[in-house]
Structure 1
Amino acid sequence: MERRKYIVIPCLTCAFVLIFFVFQTDVNEFSFSEVFDNSMKNERTTKRTSTKNTSFSFKGKNLPVLSKKVGNEPTTKIFLKHTKLNFTTKGRRISTIHPTRSSPKQTKFNFTSKGMRISTTKGMTISTTKGMTNSTTKVMTIFTTKGVTISTLNPAISAVRNNSNNNTHFLCPNFMGGFGNMMFQFAAHFGVAMSKGMQVIVANKSELNRVFKLEDIDIRNNIDICKTFISRGEKQNCAYDKNILNFNNSQNIRLGQYLQSWKYFYDFRSQLRKQFTFRDLLLQEAKSKIVQTVKRFNIGSTRDITLVGVHVRRGDMVNHKFGYNIATPEYLTKAVQYYKSKYKNIIFIIASQDIPWTKANMPNNTNVEYLDSPKREIIVATLSLCNHTITTVGSFSWWIGWLTGGEVMYFKWPAKEGSGLRKQYSKDFSDFYYPGWIGM
Structure 2
Amino acid sequence: MLNGFRLQDLKNAPFPPPGPFPLDMPLPDNRKTLQISMFTAKNGRGLGQMLFELSALFGISKQLGRVPTINRGGGVWNTVTNAVTQHFPVFGLMFEMTDIEDSAAINVNLNIRFCCKFEDPRNLKSIEQQHLLLNGVYFQSFKYFHDFQSEIRMALTPPPDSALRAELMLPADFRDDFIICVHTKRPMIQDSGLSKPSDPIFTRRATDFLVSKYKTPSKRVTVVIFGNDPIWSQNLFHGEAKLYNTYFDSALLTLGLSAIDDVAFSRNFCDSILLTAPTSSFGWWLGYLAKDTAEIYFRDPKEAPDQLYAEMRQIDYYPNSWNKLRSSRFDKKMKESYNFE
Instruction: Give the TM interval when normalised to the shorter protein.
Output: 0.5 to 0.7
Evaluate the alpha carbon distance shift between residue 371 and residue 325 of structure 1 in structure 2; reply closer, same or farther with a 3 A threshold: closer
Q: Which digits, 9 at most, give the CA deviation of each residue in 1:114-136, with x for residues without a partner?
A: xxxxxxxxxxxxxxxxxxxxxxx
- Indicate conservation of the 8 Å contact 1:239/1:424, yes or no: yes
- Indicate conservation of the 8 Å contact 1:196/1:249, yes or no: no
Evaluate the alpha carbon distance shift between residue 200 and residue 327 of structure 1 in structure 2; reply closer, same or farther with a 3 A threshold: farther
Say yes or no: does 1:217 pair with 2:94: yes
Evaluate the alpha carbon distance shift between residue 212 and residue 322 of structure 1 in structure 2; reply closer, same or farther with a 3 A threshold: closer
RMSD value over aligned CA atoms?
Answer: 3.1
Residue identity in the other structure for 1:395: S
Say yes or no: does 1:198 pair with 2:84: no
- Indicate conservation of the 8 Å contact 1:310/1:383, yes or no: no
Residue identity in the other structure for 1:217: M
Residue identity in the other structure for 1:388: S
Evaluate the alpha carbon distance shift between residue 325 and residue 358 of structure 1 in structure 2; reply closer, same or farther with a 3 A threshold: closer
Residue among 276, 280, 283 paired with 2:156: 276
Tell me the secondary structure at the aligned position of residue 378 of structure 1: helix
Residue among 243, 249, 253 paired with 2:132: 253
Evaluate the alpha carbon distance shift between residue 401 and residue 321 of structure 1 in structure 2; reply closer, same or farther with a 3 A threshold: closer
Say yes or no: does 1:306 pair with 2:194: no
Residue identity in the other structure for 2:258: K
- Indicate conservation of the 8 Å contact 2:61/2:67, yes or no: yes
- Indicate conservation of the 8 Å contact 1:169/1:252, yes or no: yes
Matches within 5 A, 1:166-177: 167-173=30-36, 174=38, 175-176=40-41, 177=45
Evaluate the alpha carbon distance shift between residue 358 and residue 284 of structure 1 in structure 2; reply closer, same or farther with a 3 A threshold: closer
Residue among 306, 311, 319 paired with 1:424: 311
Poorly superposed stretches of 4+, deviation over 4 Å: 319-323, 414-417
Evaluate the alpha carbon distance shift between residue 217 and residue 258 of structure 1 in structure 2; reply closer, same or farther with a 3 A threshold: same
Tell me the secondary structure at the aligned position of residue 372 of structure 1: coil
User: How much has 1:237 moved relative to structure 2?
Assistant: 0.5
User: How much has 1:190 moved relative to structure 2?
Assistant: 1.1
Evaluate the alpha carbon distance shift between residue 225 and residue 431 of structure 1 in structure 2; reply closer, same or farther with a 3 A threshold: same
Evaluate the alpha carbon distance shift between residue 281 and residue 431 of structure 1 in structure 2; reply closer, same or farther with a 3 A threshold: same
Q: Which runs of 5+ in 1 are unaligned?
A: 1-163
User: How much has 1:285 moved relative to structure 2?
Assistant: 2.7
- Indicate conservation of the 8 Å contact 2:34/2:66, yes or no: yes
- Indicate conservation of the 8 Å contact 1:324/1:415, yes or no: no
TM-score (norm 1): 0.53
Q: Which runs of 5+ in 2 are unaligned?
A: 1-26, 71-76, 238-243, 326-341
User: How much has 1:395 moved relative to structure 2?
Assistant: 0.2
- 2: CA distance, partners of 1:190 / 1:384: 22
Say yes or no: does 1:389 pair with 2:273: yes
- 2: CA distance, partners of 1:211 / 1:328: 32
Matches within 5 A, 1:6-25: none
- 2: CA distance, partners of 1:350 / 1:192: 34
User: How much has 1:206 moved relative to structure 2?
Assistant: 4.2
User: How much has 1:208 moved relative to structure 2?
Assistant: 1.7
Residue among 297, 316, 337 paired with 1:409: 297
Evaluate the alpha carbon distance shift between residue 403 and residue 249 of structure 1 in structure 2; reply closer, same or farther with a 3 A threshold: farther
Residue matched to 1:136 = none
Residue range with higher mean Cα deviation, 368-377 or 323-332: 323-332
Structure number, greater radius of gyration: 1
Counting matched residue pairs gives 264
- 2: CA distance, partners of 1:309 / 1:199: 37
Residue matched to 1:266 = 146
- Indicate conservation of the 8 Å contact 1:415/1:422, yes or no: no
- Indicate conservation of the 8 Å contact 2:58/2:95, yes or no: no
User: How much has 1:260 moved relative to structure 2?
Assistant: 0.4
- Indicate conservation of the 8 Å contact 1:309/1:384, yes or no: no
